[in-house]
Amino acid sequence: MGELKMMRNLTKALFQSSLAVPFLAGFFFVLFTYFTVSHQFAYSETPSTHAIQTNPLKDATPAKQGNERRTEDLKDKAETEKVQNHRDPSPKPKIEKNDTSNPNHFGGNFENFKQSPTNIPICNIQNPLSDTCDTQKGDIRTRGTSSSILIVPKFSTGGNVPQEWRIRPYSRKHMTSIKEVTVKQLNSPQEAPLCTVNYKHTALVFALGGLIGNYWHDFTDVLVPLFIASRQFDRKVQLLITNIQPWWLGKYEKIIRALSRYEVIDFDKDNQVRCFSRVLVGLQMHKEFSIDPSRAPNGYSMVDFTKFLRSTFNLQRDHPIKLSENPDVKPRLMIIDRTNYRKFNNTPEIARLAERLGFETIIADPKFNLGLDEFAKTVNSFDVLLGAHGAGLTNCVFLPTNAVVIQVVPYGNLEHMAKVDFGDPIVDMKLNYLEYSISAEESTLMEMFGKDHPVIKDPVSIHQSGWDKVAEFYLGKQDMRVNVDRFAPTLLKARELLK
């Protein structure tokens, strides 16, 4: 108590003397200096501790210092914003050959990695037709024998929970015969298997099988979606195919090679760890046998697809004959002659009608084993393509722009299906589309069942009973005998469109 009293008296004396102001100024200066130094010491310790906790690749990736580190941070932020806003363009590969990765370089090459995959959308499973994934930029590793695509983070994900998707990389997501592929984010770089092959270009993983073997499905399910996915890379894309079908690749080899300059990899048998900066998984179908330019990279359309085919097969004609400029020349008409169900029972009579109306007419029967190059050139030489609803009409992709396609729709309320499968796509190709619907009297179903049977009298009830019945009766048991008098105006309209 005595010491406290003495301190109060001393303080009172100092304030009353002339030394009060200098003493207090010095006291507060010492106090301020002490706290400043302490704070700087504490701040200098924080970044070092933080780096040790969150950068496990510190030894593999040299730390940036000063302005260099600041510049890198700004670049990272800019790349992050571009990815999140979906404005990041596809990477442009600068080399064509594949490089063997350095096995001593754990974690692969991160020089192009600007954004943690955990912060961007990877797989879209909301599309009603197709499931697809796009890893965007990063360190992506494929292991075919385990059907997996691994997304390697630059740093440990910490508290973030990595995601995993299992998708069928076929354009129709509900094809249960297609094997699933796993797309998985890893927790940290340490989990990643070592690269055995390193690439600078993008990879595309997709499946064959499903409905291929049907000519229309070959294009609708695979070739058109494959064009959508791969054309943007100007052939610098590696195709990894699961459920590979060598015969199919042989049939469409010219198209495959026009989309990728690299040899196809059988994904199911691939025991390599292939490292890419970006991997696309699955093929996206926009709609049947067509492309929605608003959803396609670079705004690709079916017109672009048909131009691509004309270039690939070296087809000479971009436009059909113009009768207004060549009134004495006969336009060429190809009749696709089916040999099984939905065939014309009076094809020669239809051909004679066309000849009378001023066409040069050829009857074609494109066999399954016919060379695609040869038949593509044949179709391209015609101005009008005529056929019953079926796979043969798929050859319209080889016609010159503004040519005419006539689809003969079998009896049984099939007009909507005919429009979706061929009518709308043909218009999207900038071809002229005409439709002729068979009457009950022109269908062999009339002879088979009689006019009072529900198949003839009430097609709506057949549709309501399920697709199996529709396919059985209207697609599988029906042939047609076209009434040439009733059909003549359709052929005359085709001539008009060529003017």
The CATH T-level fold of domain 312-497 is: Rossmann fold (3.40.50)
Which DSSP string corresponds to 41-61?
HHHHHHHHHHHHHH-TTTTTS
Task: Tell me the residue ranges of DSSP E strands in 345-403.
Answer: 360-364, 384-388
Distance set, CA 497 to CA 355, 383, 403, 408 (Å): 17, 10, 8, 18
Question: Among residues 285, 300, 302, 295, which one has the least CA distance to residue 168?
Answer: 285
- Coil/strand/helix, residue 328: coil
pLDDT value at residue 497:
98
Residue 151 dihedral angles phi and psi, to the nearest 5°: -100, 115
What pTM value is reported for the model? 0.77
Angle at 438 between CA 437 and CA 439, to 5 degrees: 115
pLDDT value at residue 302:
98
Give residue limits of the domains in the chain. 82-299, 312-497
Joined together, the tokens standing for residue 3 give 């010491």
Joined together, the tokens standing for residue 186 give 């890893």
Nearest-angstrom CA–CA distance, 181 and 282? 9
Residue 386 burial class via C-beta count within 10 angstroms: exposed 0-12, middle 13-18, buried 19 and up: buried
Dihedral angle of Cα 23, 29, 34, 36, to the nearest 10 degrees: 170
Q: Which regions of the chain are under pLDDT 50?
A: 3-5, 7, 10-11, 13-25, 27-118
pLDDT value at residue 39:
37
pLDDT value at residue 367:
66
Question: Among residues 128, 217, 239, which one has the least CA distance to residue 173?
Answer: 128
